Structure 1
Amino acid sequence: MTWKSLKTVLASLVAVALAACSPTPSSGPEATVTVFAAASLTDALTEIAADYERDEGTRVRLSFGASGAVARQVEAGAPADVVILADPIWMDRLAAAGRLDEQRFDLLANSLVVIAPVDAAASQDVFEALSGGGRLAIGTPESVPAGAYARTWLQATGRWKAVQDRLVFAADVRGVRAFVARHEAALGIVYRSDVVGQDAVRIVLEPPPEEQPAIVYPAAGAADGGAEGRALLDYLRTPRAAAIFRLHGFEPVA
């Protein structure tokens, strides 16, 4: 064997040895955080989750529904890291059941509006639309916070008895909006955030501040959640996330 050939063999052996000693890329599972949240947060959280995945490299799984339904799932043991609801009462229920950790705070505020189909005729009294068989859509008060807030407002303003036999109930606020958009209800009561970017419905009445119920979205880490959940909760309070929430009609709580 010539010296040149020997050098080639030695170089090949060294390369193999170095490759064997070098660390291999991790084949472990991708970091994931699972969020259970109120349906009204769908658009905002989907956008924020996309930013978070790109910036932090953590996959975000989102599950949306009426706050009552979401709370029952988490209470029954659904694998959540973060919970965000539209009603403190449901969050209190989860805390009492031992399903939350100590990291809980008020994340967002919202307000009620009355909506109608975009092509609905204007009227000084928007509730005239219920005459002649028109329906008023709200979320089911027992499980949908927006429905409970709507009922409270209608009762406080003396309208509840007049509209009771005109009500149609939806499983969440998006269902309310769909009823109105399809002209299956003349009016609906939803959150202001539910109208942002929608061209099939329009706001016909916004209750003044003194009539608005206090609508707060609490956020918390789940008892079985890990560090990924705590990191996402911190991110939700950053200026970047707050700007996205505002674009979608929410008001971040300081």
Structure 2
Amino acid sequence: MKRLFLFLLLVFGLGLSAGAHAAEKVTVFAAASMKDVVEEAARQFKADHGGDVTASFAASSVLAKQVEAGAPASIFISADEDWMNYLQERKLVSVSSRRIIAGNALVIATKAGGAGTAADLLNAGRFAMGDPSNVPAGKYGKAALEKLGLWDQVEKNAVFTENVRVALQYVSRGEVNAAIVYASDLAAAPDLQEAFRFPASSHQLILYPAALVGEGSAEAKALLDFLSSDVGQAIIRAKGFVPAAEAGS
């Protein structure tokens, strides 16, 4: 009887351990502009490593506040360094794990046939852009327009959105004439084109920092390393981003 009890205890204990391991998953909180990268990386990571990955996409500001409120994120990927700094100052991310995984460029997207200077495109009617008060793409866009001396002219035409993907949807639906978005976002909008690219000198470098939330599980560390690997960086390039080594950080 004693041997049977020990055997059952061992089997039960192993079952619990296996179940706990199977339940372990990585939850990525990523800027909306990183949606295609994270989804493809998650697919390849699962195929190569067998790990389950779930993801939540929104503006970096929204996600950072959710992490601050205790949301169960494993990795945070921000569209700028400010919101990563926000979490780092609150000791919510692992400083040693923090790294730049990608860069980007800022463009004006329109439907086919749109062309001209930034002034031409943005003075022609309403245009969409991320809210400059909290969306990184909006902050970069406003800074670029101020640098070019256009903000005071075109601000009245701006429709502020919660992230870049919504700005693109407005153009696709014909609700606005153009949108200020990241170059990478056009890869997910085949019906739109790049009508103008802002000079890199008109705004700060567009960098995407990533870090573990808390100390991070082994699976989360593996996924973060995967994003920095040659395979992960190839995904980043294929989705229209600039690989970390070329981002100028």
TM-score (norm 1): 0.85
Is 1:101 the counterpart of 2:94 in the alignment?
A: yes
Note if contact 1:40-1:174 (Cα within 8 Å) is conserved in structure 2: yes
Deviation at residue 251 of structure 1 after TM alignment: 1.3
**C-alpha separation between the residues in 1 aligned to 2:163 and 2:36?**
14
Deviation at residue 229 of structure 1 after TM alignment: 1.2
Note if contact 1:118-1:199 (Cα within 8 Å) is conserved in structure 2: no
Question: 1:217 maps to which residue?
Answer: 208
Amino acid at match of 1:111: A
- Equivalent pairs: percent with the same residue? 38
**Unmatched 5+ stretches in structure 2:** 1-7
What secondary structure is seen at the aligned counterpart in 1 of 2:76?
A: strand
Deviations 1:231-252 (A, max 9, x none): 1111111111111110101112
Amino acid at match of 2:216: G
Question: 2:49 maps to which residue?
Answer: 56
Question: 1:75 maps to which residue?
Answer: 68
**C-alpha separation between the residues in 1 aligned to 2:117 and 2:221?**
47
**How many residues are aligned here?**
232
Deviation at residue 107 of structure 1 after TM alignment: 1.2
Amino acid at match of 1:216: L
Decide which structure has the larger Cα Rg and report it. 1
Note if contact 1:42-1:64 (Cα within 8 Å) is conserved in structure 2: yes
**Unmatched 5+ stretches in structure 1:** 1-19
Amino acid at match of 1:176: A
Question: 1:87 maps to which residue?
Answer: 80
Deviation at residue 100 of structure 1 after TM alignment: 0.7
Note if contact 1:80-1:225 (Cα within 8 Å) is conserved in structure 2: no
Query: Cα RMSD between the aligned structures?
Result: 2.1
Deviation at residue 23 of structure 1 after TM alignment: 7.0
TM-score (norm 2): 0.87
Deviation at residue 140 of structure 1 after TM alignment: 0.7
Deviations 1:179-223 (A, max 9, x none): 111111111100000001422211110123333431010000111
Note if contact 2:143-2:203 (Cα within 8 Å) is conserved in structure 1: no
Worse-superposed segment, 194-203 or 176-185: 194-203
Question: 2:4 maps to which residue?
Answer: none
For 1:2-81, list aligned pairs within 5 A. Answer: 26=15, 27-29=18-20, 30=22, 31-81=24-74
Note if contact 1:137-1:167 (Cα within 8 Å) is conserved in structure 2: yes
Note if contact 1:43-1:248 (Cα within 8 Å) is conserved in structure 2: yes
Question: 2:169 maps to which residue?
Answer: 178
**C-alpha separation between the residues in 2 aligned to 1:213 and 1:111?**
10
When residues 253 and 125 of structure 1 are mapped into structure 2, their CA distance, relative to the original with a 3 A threshold, is closer
**C-alpha separation between the residues in 2 aligned to 1:130 and 1:114?**
9
Counterpart among 146, 150, 174 of residue 159 in structure 1: 150
**C-alpha separation between the residues in 2 aligned to 1:210 and 1:143?**
22
Note if contact 1:80-1:224 (Cα within 8 Å) is conserved in structure 2: no
What secondary structure is seen at the aligned counterpart in 2 of 1:213?
A: coil
Note if contact 1:79-1:224 (Cα within 8 Å) is conserved in structure 2: no
Amino acid at match of 2:187: V
Amino acid at match of 2:120: E
Is 1:248 the counterpart of 2:242 in the alignment?
A: no
Amino acid at match of 1:237: S
When residues 131 and 89 of structure 1 are mapped into structure 2, their CA distance, relative to the original with a 3 A threshold, is closer
Note if contact 1:86-1:218 (Cα within 8 Å) is conserved in structure 2: yes
Note if contact 1:111-1:212 (Cα within 8 Å) is conserved in structure 2: no
**C-alpha separation between the residues in 2 aligned to 1:237 and 1:126?**
34
Note if contact 1:111-1:213 (Cα within 8 Å) is conserved in structure 2: no
Amino acid at match of 1:215: I
Amino acid at match of 1:174: R
- Structure 1 residue runs of 4 or more that deviate by more than 2 Å after TM superposition: 22-27, 124-132, 208-213
What secondary structure is seen at the aligned counterpart in 2 of 1:196?
A: helix
